[in-house]
């Protein structure tokens, strides 16, 4: 079966990355707007997109091919962005030893440690999902759909316990470290939504499970909205309602437009570029933002400029890192092919 590429996933992915950027730039900053206090919901949508992409990625691949594709997808970008982040961190904080230790943690991805940027917390979560997929899909006589269904169900039950205050010792709002994340207890439900969304996009089946798990995920969104509100100016209700609106809009966008193809080659190329920029943009934006905002606020107090400039700078540097990463990836693939031939 041929793997499908959904152009509009790149649009949604890029939107979510920028939304997360604006959240990190304005959150807990009294001088900036609280309009983006719901920007964290972009990460949850990222997980749904990952579920869709991985569902397609396993098509036509064996276990070795799947693992190799994930390593090549993550680690060249991770290394380039971490080295860039270490320089940015050093420029802003002036602490070489801290920059070095955080960079090592970020490349190795120690589960229960601080990273060079807080956004890195999602990578162990993604890798946990990849590991689960590898176990499920590449073992014979396993009904994959049942396992993904159970993942969503267990994750939904865990989030309900979190909301009721029964499992709060596993919940860390700041750097999202801990057992709950690598076991997919908190975020597994979003990957399940993505998996069954991919099935719906391929065959028109599975939309009922998408709806069920989307409704269950509201519990996690509500719980997080309450926790975020303790560190934000916006009320819990406004954070929750905006988050649900963006989340629902993202799902509807996927359902209605993911199979749409743009005829213009230039537009298609641009969309693909935006999708590829998303990963380095997500990893780099915090340290770039710290440097840019600290300089811009000395010149102007116009909030649009204060928020727009670090986003634009982050996109530009992400583009540069993307090209470096492409060079590394091509060489990794070339070396791998030469070894297989020899």
263 compared with 213, residue with greater pLDDT:
213
Asked if residue 183 has pLDDT above 80, the reply is yes
Least confident of 63-77, 137-151, 204-218: 137-151
Angle between helices 236-257 and 41-57 (to 10 degrees): 30
- Give residue 289's pLDDT: 94
289 half-sphere exposure, CB direction, 13 A CA radius:
23
- Give residue 59's pLDDT: 72
Asked if residue 86 has pLDDT above 90, the reply is yes
Identify the three-state secondary structure at position 164.
Answer: coil
Asked if residue 241 has pLDDT above 90, the reply is yes
Residues 6 or more apart in contact with residue 29 via CB below 8 angstroms = none
Angle between helices 303-341 and 265-296 (to 10 degrees): 120
> The pTM is what?
0.90
d(CA 265, CA 274): 14
Asked if residue 150 has pLDDT above 90, the reply is yes
15 half-sphere exposure, CB direction, 13 A CA radius:
14
Structure tokens at 296: 């811009």
**Cα dihedral 283/287/290/291 (nearest 10):** -130
Hunting for tokens 């860390």 — which residue is that? 172
**Could you tell me what percent of the chain has a pLDDT over 70?**
86
First to last CA, the chain: 30
CA distances from 74 to 69, 231, 320 (A): 9, 31, 17
DSSP label at 204? S
Segment 154-164 mean pLDDT: 86
DSSP label at 234? S
320 compared with 205, residue with greater pLDDT:
320
Quickly state the pLDDT bin for 106 (edges 50, 70, 90). very high
Q: State the Cα angle at 293 between 240 and 286, rounded to 5°.
A: 60
152 compared with 336, residue with greater pLDDT:
152
- Give residue 279's pLDDT: 96
Hunting for tokens 């799902």 — which residue is that? 251
Segment 71-75 mean pLDDT: 88
Residues 6 or more apart in contact with residue 182 via CB below 8 angstroms = 111, 124, 125, 128
Structure tokens at 286: 């915090």
Segment 60-85 mean pLDDT: 88
- Give residue 274's pLDDT: 93
Segment 31-42 mean pLDDT: 84
The 10s digit of each residue's pLDDT in 255-308 is 876 666 666 788 888 889 999 999 999 999 999 999 999 999 899 888 889 999
334 compared with 254, residue with greater pLDDT:
254
- Give residue 338's pLDDT: 59
Residue pair 128/180 in contact (Cβ under 8 Å)? The answer is no
Quickly state the pLDDT bin for 174 (edges 50, 70, 90). very low
DSSP result, 88-150: HHHHHH--HHHHHHHHHHHHHT-TTS--SSGGGGHHHHHHHHHHHHHHHHTSTT--HHHHHHH
Asked if residue 212 has pLDDT above 90, the reply is yes
Indicate the average pLDDT of the chain: 86
Asked if residue 224 has pLDDT above 70, the reply is yes
Asked if residue 140 has pLDDT above 80, the reply is no
CA 292 to chain centre: 23
- Give residue 232's pLDDT: 79
Residues 6 or more apart in contact with residue 258 via CB below 8 angstroms = 6, 8, 9, 52, 201
Asked if residue 339 has pLDDT above 70, the reply is no
Residue pair 115/102 in contact (Cβ under 8 Å)? The answer is yes
Segment 179-186 mean pLDDT: 79
Residues 6 or more apart in contact with residue 337 via CB below 8 angstroms = none
- Give residue 342's pLDDT: 57
């Amino acid at each position: 079966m041929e793997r499908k590429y959904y152009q509009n996933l790149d649009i949604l992915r890029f939107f979510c990355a920028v939304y997360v950027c604006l959240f990190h730039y304005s959150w807990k900053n009294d001088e900036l707007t609280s309009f983006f206090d719901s920007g964290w919901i972009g990460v949850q949508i990222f997980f749904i997109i990952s579920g869709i992409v991985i569902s397609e990625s396993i098509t036509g691949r064996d276990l070795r091919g799947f693992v190799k594709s994930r390593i090549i997808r993550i680690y060249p970008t991770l290394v380039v962005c971490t080295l860039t982040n270490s320089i940015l961190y050093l420029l802003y904080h002036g602490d070489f030893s801290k920059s070095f230790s955080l960079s090592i943690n970020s490349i190795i991805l120690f589960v229960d440690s601080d990273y060079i940027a807080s956004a890195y917390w999602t990578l162990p979560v993604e890798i946990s999902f990849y590991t689960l997929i590898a176990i499920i899909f590449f073992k014979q006589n396993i009904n994959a759909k049942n396992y993904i269904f159970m993942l969503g169900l267990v994750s939904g039950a865990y989030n309900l316990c979190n909301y009721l205050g029964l499992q709060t010792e596993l919940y860390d709002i700041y750097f999202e470290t801990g057992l709950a994340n690598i076991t997919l207890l908190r975020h597994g439900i979003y990957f399940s939504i993505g998996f069954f969304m991919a099935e719906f996009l391929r065959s028109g089946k599975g939309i009922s499970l998408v709806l069920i798990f989307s409704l269950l995920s509201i519990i996690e969104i509500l719980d997080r909205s309450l926790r975020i509100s303790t560190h934000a100016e916006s009320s819990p209700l406004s954070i929750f309602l905006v988050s649900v609106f963006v989340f629902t809009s993202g799902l509807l966008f996927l359902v209605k437009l993911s199979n749409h193809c743009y005829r213009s080659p230039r537009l298609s190329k641009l969309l693909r570029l935006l999708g590829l920029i998303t990963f380095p943009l997500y990893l780099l934006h915090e340290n770039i933002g710290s440097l840019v905002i600290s300089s811009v606020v000395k010149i102007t107090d116009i909030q649009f400029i204060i928020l727009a400039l670090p986003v634009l700078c982050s996109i530009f540097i992400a583009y540069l890192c993307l090209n470096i990463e492409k060079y590394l990836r091509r060489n990794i693939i070339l070396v791998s092919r030469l070894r297989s031939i020899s």
